[in-house]
Structure 1
Amino acid sequence: MNNNTIFVVEDDKAIRNLISTTLEMQGYQYQTADTGSSAIMGILSCNPDVIILDLGLPDMDGIEIIQKVRTWSNTPIIIVSARSDDQEKINALDEGADDYITKPFNTNELLARIRVALRRYNNMKNTPNNNEKSTFVNGDLKIDYAAGCAYFQEKEIHLTPIEYKLLCLLSKNVGKVLTHNFILKEIWGAVLPADTQSLRVFMATLRKKIELNPSKPQYIQTHIGIGYRMLKVDGVNE
Structure 2
Amino acid sequence: MLVEDDIEISEMVKTHMMKEGFKVIQAYDGESALQSFSKGAIDLILLDLMLPKANGMDFLQVVRKQSTIPVLIMSAKDSEADKAIGLGLGADDYITKPFSMVELTARVKAAIRRATNYSKSVEKDVKTIIHIGQLTIDLENYLVTKENKEIKLTSKEFQILKMFMCSPNRVFTKAQIYQFVWHEDYYGDENVINVHMRRLREKIEEDPSHPKYIKTIWGIGYKLGEF
TM-score, normalising length: structure 1: 0.59
The C-alpha deviation readout for 1:157-209, integer Å capped at 9, x for no partner, is 65555348xxxxxxxxx9xxxxxxxxxxxxxxxxxxxxxxxxxxx99479831
| Structure 1: gaps spanning 5 or more residues | 1-6, 138-142, 165-173, 175-201, 211-218, 221-228, 231-238
CA 1:207–1:10: 2 relative to 1, 3 Å: closer
CA spacing shift, 1:105–1:44, aligned 2, 3 Å:
same
Query: Are residues 1:162 and 2:162 paired?
Result: no
* AA partner of residue 116 (structure 1): A
| CA spacing shift, 1:72–1:208, aligned 2, 3 Å | closer
For the pair 1:37 / 2:31, whether they are aligned, the reply is yes
- Kindly tell me the number of residue pairs found equivalent between the two proteins: 165
Q: Deviation at 1:85?
A: 1.2
Once the two structures are TM-superposed, the CA of residue 95 in structure 1 deviates from its matched residue by 1.1
| Residue 67 of structure 2, aligned match among 65, 68, 73 | 73
Q: Which amino acid aligns with 1:103?
A: K
CA separation of 1:205 and 1:60: change in aligned 2, threshold 3 A: farther
**How high is the sequence identity, in percent, across the aligned residues?**
30
Write 1 or 2 for the structure with the bigger share of helix: 2
The separation in 1 between residues aligned to 2:108 and 2:137, in whole angstroms, is 24
Q: 1:28 to 1:87 in 2, by over 3 A?
A: same
RMSD: 3.6
Change (3 A) 1:156 1:203: closer
What's 2:108 paired with? 114
Q: Does 1:63 align with 2:57?
A: yes
Q: 2:44 aligns with which of 42, 50, 56?
A: 50
- 5 Å-filtered alignment, 1:122-133, equals 122-127=116-121, 128-129=124-125
- For the 8 Å contact 2:27–2:33, the answer to whether it is kept is yes
Per-residue CA distance 1:10-54 (angstroms, 9 max, x = gap): 000111011101111112111100000000101111421010000
Q: How does 1:202-217 map to 2 (within 5 A)?
A: 204=217, 208-209=221-222
In structure 2, the residue matched to 1:134 is 131
Contact 2:44 2:71 in 1 (8 A): yes
Large movers: runs of 4+ above 6 Å: none
C-alpha distance in 1 between matches for 2:67 and 2:27? 18
User: Using a 3 Å threshold, how does the CA distance of structure 1 residues 24 and 43 change in structure 2: closer, same or farther?
Assistant: same
Q: Aligned-pair distance for 1:87?
A: 1.2
C-alpha distance in structure 1 between counterparts of 2:15 and 2:41, whole Å: 21
Q: 1:11 to 1:21 in 2, by over 3 A?
A: same
Distance 2:60 2:108 in 1: 17
1: CA distance between counterparts of 2:137 and 2:110?
A: 21
Q: Would the aligned equivalents of 1:77 and 1:97 in 2 still touch at CA under 8 Å?
A: yes
Any gaps of 5 or more consecutive residues in structure 2?
Answer: 145-152, 172-205, 207-214
Q: Secondary structure at the match of 2:65?
A: coil
Match in the other structure for 2:193: none
Q: Which amino acid aligns with 1:39?
A: A
* Residue equivalent to 2:150: none
Give the distance between the partners of 2:82 and 2:94, measured in 1 at CA.
10
Structure 2 CA distance for partners of 1:61 and 1:207, relative to 1, 3 Å: closer
Change (3 A) 1:25 1:96: same
State the Cα deviation string for residues 197-237 of structure 1 (Å, max 9, x = none): xxxxx994798316xxxxxxxx97xxxxxxxx98xxxxxxx
CA distance in 2, matches of 1:136, 1:55: 35
